Amino acid sequence: MRENFHKSLAAVKTAGAISAINGVPVSADAKFLSEKWLRGELTGEQMKQELLDLHRKIAEEEKRG
């Protein structure tokens, strides 16, 4: 379990670093979901779905406004 946590933590940090290099900041919502995934509160699929739902909501709000 501990080994998987460290691998997962490294994956989250790497993804954040790649995003930063590309000039795309990681949102607070994405960080929150990543933390939930690290703690085992969400599966990878659940985290991806939550992010997709969030981005769809943001896109709809921008479309309306």
- Domain ranges, ordered by start, for the chain: 2-64
According to the model, what pLDDT value does residue 1 have?
59
According to the model, what pLDDT value does residue 43 have?
92
pTM: 0.73
From residue 22, alpha-carbon distances to 9, 18, 44, 62 in Å are 20, 6, 23, 23
Question: What is the chain's pLDDT, residue by residue, as a tens digit (65 residues)?
Answer: 567 888 888 888 898 889 889 898 888 898 899 999 999 999 989 999 999 999 999 999 999 98
Instruction: Using alpha carbons, select from 4, 22, 18 the residue that is nearest to residue 44.
Output: 4
Instruction: Using alpha carbons, select from 20, 46, 16 the residue that is nearest to residue 31.
Output: 16
